[in-house]
A and B are shown apart, each in its own frame.
Chain A
Amino acid sequence: MATQHVEPAHEHHAHPQESWFRHYMLSTDHKIICFQYMFTGMALAVVAGFFSYVFRMQMAFPGMHVPGWGLVTPNEYNMLITNHGAIMIFWVAMPVLIAAFGNYLIPLMIGADDMVFPKVNRLSYQIFLLSAIVLIASFFTQGGGFGGAWTIYPPLSAKPEYNLTPWGSSLFLVAVALEFIAFLLGGINFITTAMNSRAPGMSYHHIPIVVWMIVIASMLFMASVGPLIAGAIMLVFDQTLHTAFFDPNRGGDPILWQHLFWFFGHPEVYVVLLPALGITAEIITTMSRKKLFAYKTVLNTAIGTGVLSFTVWAHHQFVAGIDPRMANIFTVMTLIISIPIAEMMFVYIATLYGGSITLNTPMLWALSFIFTFLIGGVTGIFLGASGADIYLHDTYFVLAHFHYTFFPIAIIGTFAGVSFWFPKMSGKMMNDTLGKIHFWGTFLGFNGIFIPLFITGMLGDHRRIFDHNFFPELATPTLKGLREFATLSLLFMLAFQPIWFYNVITSLLWGKPAPKNPWNSNTLEWTADSPPPHGNWPTLPIVYRGPYEYSTPNRSEDYWPQNVPS
């Protein structure tokens, strides 16, 4: 129970002589650390996006000299797809959605002046940065970067004579392990801060959904990553000390790795999903002037999904050689987990009912999240049904399914969050017209890439194959046409991305100054200056109600900020 006393103003130790380096590189301020994570994540997104351009050009026009790369050898192809996947999940989705938005929003939305352990916060970013450097370094070693898929299955990953990347495979694992440690440290901060440092009056049901989501995601991460850290140590030992944890010739078991990996791997997708869902909730409520439909249901389904996510992992291993009887349990649990997620989608859609919807850039992103994630979700059912997965496993159907989930999560979620909180973060407004142009190009382009890939998967295109024309039944005009359409859509989509960068830079430099609360939103961050100073407020706020009191009857305003007494 928080005590009801007025807290002394946070003493701001002004450092007018502080160098740029100390202020931006060594800061312990949660807002600066947010930007560090965000810029690092976005820089790596450019790298991983470039990789996808290269390999999609190879897929559509096999053997061509790809502009900016050259001929794509099978070895390079494997390295490109492996690192595209790993970077997007571990070095883009997680840092931007959890570490950046978590760092920025949690203290501001709960009315605190910073995270509870600012120095640990700084340390977590430094370890994260180190992990990114280690990963990039792996590309420049003899043999090149690791090319055995982001799932790193042994024996391929364990023995250099199989993978031909002796340094790359170990550095890859070390990078992943460091990333895990960075996020464990970060998670401690997020959970402890959200649990312990809330403003007086902010009970559990007055916490904005995005804060809940990031906290639950952090807990999920902590609870699931342990076995994989153990497994990563075991695999590095196999690689470097020639132990035999996963070597079937000497008493080890390669399937053990798969279990350790997916026990984490499945909850991991919900770890990145929940923050994106949270961002979507904040935008939808604000832009439709409506209370979130059934807040408690949203919370309970999020927790329920999190718990259930620990029971579905082997649906990634249906044909991997597990006991076939086990597969049935995982089919049942996988279809069960679709229920709370469907419920969450329905609740978000229901929030629109009776609303007064403004279709600006943030809202377009938030709504497109629902549209595209629905496609991702329903296509997962095909894969969860074990009987159908026998055919669909390792085909492009799987790939299209998970891009229809990951793209809304990592890309749409990011653009939504940035466009919504940009005014607060920078003190400037973004150009909404440019924002909409960028949105439509990205949204249409994305669908153009992956709808054809569902079909190529159904027709037999398997994953991680660098040239499908080696297979006579896959060298048909239909399939070639579909692959080309997908690649051209990617080029179309990439062509629109400079618009976003242009918008960000020109808005930062010459954008209209942003008021404190440009969207007339209820949550606490909008009561701080745009941008907030160190310490966030001169006096920390007190909370009187929940975050979604929009269009409350008998009030002249259609919003009611949490910190206003009445």
Chain B
Amino acid sequence: MMEWIARSLDRFMPPAASSYALDIDFVFNLVFWIVIAFWFVLVQAIFIGLIVRFRKRDGVGAQYITGELKHEHRFIAWPHYVIMICDVILVAAAIRVWYNVKQQLPEPDATVRIIAQQWAWSFVHPGPDGKLDTDDDIKTVDDLHLEVGKTYHYLLESRDVLHSLSIPVFRLKQDAIPGRVVTGWFKPITTGEHDIQCAEICGIGHGLMPARVILETPEQHAAWMAGAGTSPAPGTATGE
């Protein structure tokens, strides 16, 4: 059932490439089915129905209803209580996913550093030794290489103004703040090449800093690391 809800609006969403993408879709879709498919449709139908039913007719006057009598007011009160229950369900679903994605950090298999600046993304991958901040780190501009199935921590920084890391296929978003390092996590689950966007206006080049996340099988990833290590990096992060 949860799976069905999570996938029900698939065609309107990008592919789900992270372990929590479907969880986030679940929250979105749950709101859709409860609030739109049920409440919104019901209320608009009643609204339009009343307009049609009570149009001005010759000889028929309007009724005098204060809305303060109990048998009148219950039409507002009962929906009110049902909405409160729906809200509790939605809040619970939202907080559960929020906690998982933003409040906790599972043990990482690897850590990557992601650096935002006006106007490019640069990435520092741990090299073959698996450790960040060692001599064999692989630095790239525009391309983030990740291995499917590995749990990653990201260390997000900004060199100048606010930027925001957005990877739609992961459903991930996190603002990058100058002067701070923000830590988060993700775990890719499918292969492919997808967009990375900046999601916080950062000047005239805000729309001109596209990047790509390249999700690779272990073999592909190893091959990339081997190739990247021996030849000069396609573009090192400026100022490093």
Contacts and interface: CB of A to CB of B under 8 A. Distances in A.
A341 to B, nearest CB: 10
A239 interface: no
Contact of B179 (A77, A248, A324, A339): A248
A336 interface: yes
Contacts of A319: 102, 164, 173-175
Interface in B69-96: 72-73, 75-76, 79-80, 83-84, 87, 90-91, 93-96
Contacts of A327: 98, 102
B164 to A, nearest CB: 7
B35 A390 contact: no
A147 to B, nearest CB: 7
B180 A155 contact: no
Nearest to B63: A354
A249 interface: yes
Nearest to A293: B67
Contacts of B207: 74, 77, 464-468, 470
Nearest to A472: B195
Contact of A470 (B13, B25, B208): B208
A249 B61 contact: no
A455 interface: yes
B67 A558 contact: no
Contact of A375 (B13, B24, B40): B40
B60 interface: yes
Contact of A163 (B61, B179, B203): B203
A307 interface: no
Contacts of B202: 156
B103 interface: yes
* Listed residue (A296, A354, A468) with the most chain B CB atoms within 10 angstroms of its CB: A354
B2 interface: no
Interface stretch (B43-51, B145-153, B226-234): B43-51
Given A358-B56, A473-B14, A387 B98 contact: yes
A352 B203 contact: no
A294 B67 contact: yes
A405 to B, nearest CB: 14
Contacts of B56: 356-358
Given A339-B84, A346-B79, A385-B94, A460 B195 contact: yes
Contact of A294 (B57, B76, B79, B87): B76
Nearest to B34: A381
Interface size class on chain A is 35 or more
A288 B162 contact: no
B180 A290 contact: no
A565 interface: no
A357 B51 CA distance: 7
A506 interface: no
Contacts of A378: 35-36, 39-40
B237 interface: no
A24 interface: no
A321 B76 contact: no
A458 B95 contact: no
A470 B24 CA distance: 26
Interface string B166-204: 101001111101111010000000000011011111111
Interface string B211-236: 00000000000000000000000000
Contact of A156 (B43, B95, B203): B203
Interface in B27-59: 27-28, 31-32, 35-36, 39-40, 43-44, 46-47, 50-51, 54-57
Given A342-B79, A394-B164, 17 more contacts: A156-B161, A156-B202, A163-B203, A248-B180, A290-B65, A294-B68, A327-B102, A328-B95, A339-B80, A339-B87, A343-B80, A349-B50, A355-B63, A356-B60, A385-B28, A388-B97, A455-B12
Interface of A: 73-75, 77-78, 147-149, 153-156, 162-164, 248-249, 254-255, 288-297, 319-321, 324-325, 327-328, 331-332, 335-336, 338-339, 342-343, 345-347, 349-359, 367, 370-371, 374-375, 378, 381-382, 385-388, 390-395, 455, 458-460, 462-468, 470-474, 550-553, 558
16 contacts: A78-B206, A249-B178, A254-B178, A321-B177, A342-B83, A349-B43, A349-B46, A357-B56, A386-B94, A386-B95, A387-B95, A458-B12, A459-B14, A460-B168, A465-B206, A550-B64
Interface of B: 9, 12-14, 23-25, 27-28, 31-32, 35-36, 39-40, 43-44, 46-47, 50-51, 54-57, 60-68, 72-73, 75-76, 79-80, 83-84, 87, 90-91, 93-99, 101-103, 118, 160-162, 164, 166, 168, 171-175, 177-180, 182, 194-195, 197-208, 210
